[in-house]
A and B are shown apart, each in its own frame.
Chain A
Amino acid sequence: MKLAKLFGWLPVETAYAHCDLPCGVYDPVQAMVEAKSVYAITTKYADLSGEDKIRAILIKEQRAELVKHHLWVLWTDYFKPEHLEAHPNLHDLFWQATKMAGQTKKSVDPDTAKKLMNLITEIIDIFNATRK
């Protein structure tokens, strides 16, 4: 029997030694999935008509907003000062990516959505480097 279990009958409180969220739940792939959705809508938009066009625009705006949300969570909660030291372009990259997500809201150009995906790919590369 482990010695620590002997303390089971004593009053033992919990001392928390963790992140507010377990780091395993962070994943930039969430942002990429939403960006791909934005891209897919822009490639189909021209062939749509009537209400489908309006619906496509609304969904595209929602997905673009989700991209921003997922990126902000990573930026503010996952990345730490030591990550910024190792990747000095991190702040600029997030700024560009969230700005580009805003651009995709007012554009139906697939190239804009592609640029957003490329920026998220760069963030994924940095994220993966911090997990090694």
Chain B
Amino acid sequence: MKWPLKLYRVNGSSMLPTYQPGDVLITWSWFRPRVGQVVISSHERNLVKRIREISGRAVWLEGDNRAASTDSRQFGPVDVKQISSRVVARVKA
């Protein structure tokens, strides 16, 4: 069984003003995805985005800073199995 707690450092500004570059995010992987949660989507690389919509297994992700975010508006919804963990706390940069 994988240890559910994992740390990530934010790279980029698409989650401003919620999280800024350099912030350390404490994430937890035992959870059920819900709209509004900020999650880590792990596919080719780890992305941090907010869940805007869930339809079956399709999860729509967007950055809080919509003008500077590449997200589901470009790459479409992601499969729920790509959502690896949920942000539960942040340590400011």
Q: Residues of B contacting A14 with CB < 8 Å?
A: 8-9, 11, 45-46
In the complex, 12 of the A-B residue pairs with CB atoms within 8 angstroms, ordered by the A residue number, are A4-B9, A7-B7, A7-B24, A12-B7, A15-B9, A17-B13, A17-B47, A17-B63, A17-B69, A19-B69, A20-B70, A23-B68
Q: Residues of B contacting A18 with CB < 8 Å?
A: 11-14, 68-70
Complex formed: what's the CA distance from A11 to B5 in Å? 11
B40 within 8 A of A: yes
Complex formed: what's the CA distance from A9 to B73 in Å? 36
Is A15 a contact of B46 with CB atoms below 8 Å? yes
Interface size counted on chain B using CB atoms at 8 A: 33
Interface residues of A (CB under 8 A from B): 2-4, 7, 10-20, 23, 80-82, 130
Contact of B14 among A4, A12, A17 (CB under 8 A): A17
Residue in chain B with minimal CB distance to A81: B73
Given A13-B7, A15-B8; A4-B70 close (CB under 8 Å) = no
Within 8 A of A (CB), among B1-22: 6-15, 19, 21-22
Chain B nearest CB, measured from A96 CB (Å)? 24
Within 8 A of A (CB), among B56-93: 63, 66-70, 73-74, 91-93
Residue in chain A with minimal CB distance to B65: A17
Residue in chain A with minimal CB distance to B27: A15
B51 within 8 A of A: no
Is B92 a contact of A10 with CB atoms below 8 Å? no
Q: Residues of B contacting A81 with CB < 8 Å?
A: 73
Q: Residues of A contacting B66 with CB < 8 Å?
A: 80, 82
Chain B nearest CB, measured from A9 CB (Å)? 11
Q: Residues of B contacting A3 with CB < 8 Å?
A: 91-92
Q: Residues of B contacting A10 with CB < 8 Å?
A: 7
Complex formed: what's the CA distance from A6 to B19 in Å? 18
